[in-house]
Structure 1
Amino acid sequence: MTATPAPRAARFLAILGLFWVAAPALAATHPGQAELVREVASETGKDPRALNSLLDGAQMQQSILDAINRPAESKPWKDYRPIFLTDLRISDGIAFYRQHRALLEQIGKQYGVAPQYIVAIVGVETNYGRITGKYKVLDALVTLGLYYPPRATFFRNELKVLLELPDSHLAGPLDTLTGSYAGAQGWGQFMPDSIRDFGVDADGDGRIDLQNSLPDIFASVANYFAQHGWVDGGPVAARAQPDAAARPIAVQDANPQWPLEQLEAWGYAPLQALSPAQPTSLQTLVGPSGPEYWFTFQNFYVITRYNRSPLYAMAVDQLATAIAAGVAQADAAP
């Protein structure tokens, strides 16, 4: 039997009804959300409705916008250093190292990264796992990726990667994850692309859990360093003493640019024995007594791949050095 064509009005109402059924799945709470969902769904096959539901639940947070405009790295070294190089943070780091020594040294040996630097990273980032961040990761990345034009490209990409990560790369359901105002997660404060590229399931449970698994946390930090070119046993930073005629040197980043002997020729003397051919850069920091000059090497540069601030890298190095010294002293005690 041939169906009788529906009247024009009925067809219009039917089309309108379909529109209202589909509209909730296509609605976007945030600017740029629809395009982002289309990209993620196209590249991963994930359900657009589920992606929209996640993003609809995220909130733009003014406190996040406020926080990104007053980073600690804007402070001079004389004010930045006391934040991280306290007696308590050093003693806690020594105790943390000794408590987890077997695991730290096994992972350090596996990746060729001195264990005290793994400890120093989690010490600087989260005070040894005590302060991993109060913001919902989705809120942070939606706020900065979709409402913060100065760095929207970077943070939108991090939001996209977060949405693309499989569940096995996350510590829990995506909409429950918390972290820093910048969207970094776990004890080592990994951004989503770092979880994707450098996260390690070291405990073999099928999940990269940077919030609850110490093997995963330690191995992921060590792997990050190793993949960025950490030199096992290599120097990080050493104090330099300029003479009265030292040549002013401007550096754009911490990438070693000259052999140490070239900097010596320009008037900067090392205060300890170092290889003259060692590739080197120079950092000038504002210390409590005036300018401080530091030779920095490949491993210092690697730390700046974790956080590009030379203040951060110097704090990690000095905390790691203090922790190693404290552990050695404890070992030597009767």
Structure 2
Amino acid sequence: MNKRKEMKLGVLILALAALLPTQAVQAEVAETASFQHFINVMVKQHGFQEAALRQQFAQVQIQQAILDAIVKPAEAKPWFQYREIFMTEERIAGGVKFWQDNEAALKAMQQEYGVPAEIVIAIIGVESKYGAHTGKYRVIDALATLGFAREARSDFFQKELENFLLLARSEQLDALQPMGSYAGAMGLPQFMPSSYLSYAVDFDHDGKRDIWKNSADAIASVANYFVRNQWHSGQPIAFPVSRNGQAYQQALHSGVKPDTSVQALQALQIQTPPQLAASTSVKLLSFQQADGDDLWLGLHNFYVITRYNHSPLYALAVYQLSQAIAERKKSAPAPL
């Protein structure tokens, strides 16, 4: 199929989507040049059987609901609205219960990886509400929809689809069964397939890296993700700071990686924590509140959290939730 016909087919699918209720709009994977290229890659590079792949993809559905969801990420909200999604009584209490239910695995994880239990718990809490919301779409549908029916980042999602089929084969999973998010993220920690292949851990040594139902595997997989991204054990993560005047705005740069020193921020009339040496590398970040903004210093470990999700809003939500869970855990009665 030539490029013009391929584009017309995509327009037709979207036009049909506009006429029908969102949940009802589904279509088979179209026989486009990009899909044929994908099949060729799986066959020639990875040894898949073309007939079996085509039979499998005949059962895959392109879904308009997925296309709608991908353009409305929570990270587009201002901080004061984004924070309200995660800093709830239910999520804090749920984090304490998850800690109590998985005390042994969390203790073993901390000993092996050096990542605080509350940080791993907060990641799982933010990502899937401790496993309550791991996604309502088949992973293969989500990745095929975003890889073949949407132009933006299609190469990324096609690569994730490739990785998903590889992990399904290696883990002996039926690729049509695993469920995940609209973006194809999976399990308690909501790993993308590439992250699963790189970081998932069989922590209980049962021969499977089960991040869907095995809390121990999920816990260790998150910790392994952080360690592999250079987590510094025992080091601080972030600090709120105050300022005098407006000179601080000179230090507000794009990105999340530490790019200035504590000493430089002090020169801009920012009150920094006394425990931080003047030479410490930090990142000044501004978070929008309803009536102004909050300033925070992100350190190296804050940057590591953003390797999980590149949004500073995400990293601060994880950090604040982790602190709330840890504080609540101190006064929580022991489980019966």
Normalised-by-shorter TM-score class: 0.7 to 0.9
The amino acid of 1:141's aligned partner reads L
Aligned to 1:67: 69
For the pair 1:150 / 2:157, whether they are aligned, the reply is no
The equivalent residue for 2:285 is 283
Distance in 1 (alpha carbons) for counterparts of 2:66 and 2:274 = 44
SS class of match (1:324):
helix
- TM-score (norm: length of structure 1): 0.87
In structure 2, C-alpha distance between the alignment counterparts of 1:169 and 1:110, rounded to whole Å:
24
> Do the aligned partners of 1:90 and 1:319 also contact (CA within 8 Å) in 2?
yes
Sort the Cα spacing of 1:222 and 1:30 in 2 relative to 1 into closer, same or farther, 3 A: farther
The residue matched to 2:278 in structure 1 has which SS? Answer: coil
1:100-111 mapped onto 2 (5 Å cutoff): 100-111=102-113
Match among 162, 165, 168 for residue 163 of structure 1: 165
Residue correspondences, number: 305
For residues 26-82 of structure 1, the C-alpha deviation after alignment (integer angstroms, 9 at most, x for no partner) is x97443221101101111112122222222211111111111111111000010001
SS of aligned partner of 2:61: coil
Residue 174 of structure 1 aligns to a residue whose secondary structure is coil
Matched, 1:44 2:25: no
Quote the Cα distance in structure 2 between the aligned partners of 1:245 and 1:93. Answer: 38
Alpha-carbon deviation of 1:289?
3.2
Task: Give me the whole-angstrom Cα distance separating, in 2, the residues matched to 1:76 and 1:38.
Answer: 43
Question: Could you say if the C-alpha distance between residues 283 and 155 of structure 1 is closer, same or farther in structure 2, counting changes exceeding 3 Å?
Answer: same
**Per-residue deviation at 1:160?**
1.4
Residue 54 (structure 1) aligns with: 56
Contact 2:134 2:187 in 1 (8 A): yes
Alpha-carbon distance in structure 2 between the residues aligned to 1:169 and 1:242: 52
- Answer whether contact 1:230 1:302 (CA < 8 A) is retained: yes
In the TM superposition, what is the alpha-carbon distance from 1:213 to its structure 2 partner? Answer: 1.3
Q: What is aligned with 2:319?
A: 317
2:306 aligns to what SS in structure 1? helix
TM-score (norm. length: structure 2): 0.86
Aligned-partner SS, 1:294: strand
> Which of 78, 81, 96 does residue 79 from structure 1 map onto?
81
Query: Secondary structure in 1 aligned to 2:293?
Result: strand
Q: Which moved more, 1:78-87 or 1:247-256?
A: 247-256
By how many angstroms is 1:266 displaced? 2.1
Matched, 1:228 2:229: yes
Amino acid at match of 1:259: S
Instruction: Say if 1:29 and 1:56, in contact at 8 Å, map to a contact too.
Output: no
Structure 2 contact 168–174 (Cα < 8 Å) conserved: no
What does residue 188 of structure 2 align with?
A: 187
Question: Which residue matches 1:210?
Answer: 211
CA contact (8 A) 2:29 2:148 kept: no
Q: CA 1:30/1:296 → structure 2, altered by over 3 Å: closer, same or farther?
A: farther
Q: Distance in 1 between matches of 2:75 and 2:137?
A: 20
Q: Which 5+ residue runs of structure 1 have no aligned equivalent?
A: 1-26
**Matches of 1:97 and 1:28, distance apart in 2:** 42
Amino acid at match of 1:71: P
Q: 2:116 aligns with which of 92, 114, 117?
A: 114
CA contact (8 A) 2:29 2:60 kept: no
Q: Tell me the C-alpha RMSD between the 2 structures.
A: 1.8
Using the TM superposition, give the Cα deviation of residue 165 of structure 1 relative to its aligned residue in structure 2, in angstroms: 2.2
1:126 and 1:188 in contact (8 A); partners too: yes
Farther off after superposition, 60-69 or 99-108: 99-108
What aligned pairs does 1:9-48 form with structure 2 within 5 A after superposition? 29-31=30-32, 32-48=34-50
* Larger-Rg structure: 1
Partner of 2:310: 308
Residue in structure 2 matched with residue 293 of structure 1 by the alignment: 295
Question: Which residue does the alignment assign to 1:18?
Answer: none
**C-alpha offsets along residues 196-255 of structure 1, whole Å, 9 cap, x if unaligned?**
111111121222111011121111100001100111111111111121142313322111
CA distance in 1, matches of 2:65, 2:297: 38
Task: State the match for 2:142 in structure 1.
Answer: 140
Matched AA of 2:108: Q
Q: 2:247 aligns to what? A: 246
Tell me by how many angstroms 1:271 deviates.
4.8
Partners of 1:299 and 1:153 in 2: how far apart? Answer: 30
1:166, distance to aligned residue in structure 2 (A): 4.8
Structure 1 distance, partners of 2:294, 2:285, is: 8
Counterpart AA for 1:74? A
